Structure 1
């Protein structure tokens, strides 16, 4: 179960990278399309076939369905994997994913919140990597440490 927890955490981090790549692809494609003389409005964009148009779809499906499902799975696995602080990381990631989806919708009404959407995405990425590596950190050994001034060789 620990391996499943770790894999899902890394999948969340990878999905955030896909999110960034997809939206960049979409926006640069849209910018080129407009600079080539096209006009952009909501009805035109629904039927447009500019380079990068699929980036919007990838960003939407990944962000509204795939990442939330992965975040729920991570939290479920955390209860059984017994990873140090695993439930904490899983819960925080799920909370940030919920906030991320809400920011995605609200940013269309208040575009300035789009910056928080990007910052929150970075937080999700970092926490997902921390969660994946939580069990990789060596635990303190119960063996007493040798004094720093002690001779390590036997004469």
Structure 2
């Protein structure tokens, strides 16, 4: 179960990185197309935005929920705590995403919170790795 815990944490952290790259691609793609005279609306197709939304609305939340459930069985010291923190930061991320549509400045907090989400998932992953490491002998 420790390996599953570690892999789920890694998927969350990596998913946030992929989301960041996807939204950056989306914005540069929109700028490139509008510079070429293409009119862009919210109904326009954009692969970066689609990937960002699929990961953020479907994939990462499901993985985070599975991560929280697995944490109860993984027997990692502090594992449940870090999984719960990761899940809480994810909930905040979703709230900030929807609030950012009404108040665009909140979108800045959504971006900053993404770093926090990747960080706490990475810390959880590290805790799992350290929990599975053999004990080091004491120095003489």
Q: If the length of structure 1 is used for normalisation, what is the TM-score? A: 0.82
Unaligned stretches of 5+ residues in structure 1: 147-155
Among 103, 108, 121, the residue aligned to 1:128 = 121
Task: Give 3-state SS (helix, strand or coil) of 1:41's partner.
Answer: coil
Greater C-alpha radius of gyration: 1
Instruction: Please show how residues 57-136 of structure 1 align to structure 2 within 5 Å.
Output: 57-136=50-129
> SS of the counterpart of 2:129?
coil
Q: Does the CA-based 8 Å contact 2:71-2:80 persist in structure 1? A: yes
Match of 2:15 in 1: 15
1:74 & 1:119 partners in 2: Cα distance?
22
CA contact (8 A) 2:5 2:128 kept: no
- Deviation of the 1:4 alpha carbon: 0.4
Secondary structure of 2:48's aligned partner: helix
Equivalent pairs, count: 139
Pick the structure with more helix per residue: 2
SS at 2:39's partner residue?
Answer: coil
In 1, distance between residues paired with 2:29 and 2:48? 9
* Residue ranges of structure 2 left out of the alignment (5+ in a row): none
Corresponding residue SS for 2:107: helix
CA contact (8 A) 2:6 2:129 kept: no
Deviation at 1:41, TM superposition (A): 3.2
TM-aligned CA distance change 1:134 to 1:35, over 3 Å: same
Greater relative contact order (CA < 8 Å, ≥ 6 in sequence): 2
Cα distance, 1:144–1:27 mapped onto 2, change above 3 Å = closer
Equivalence for 1:149: none
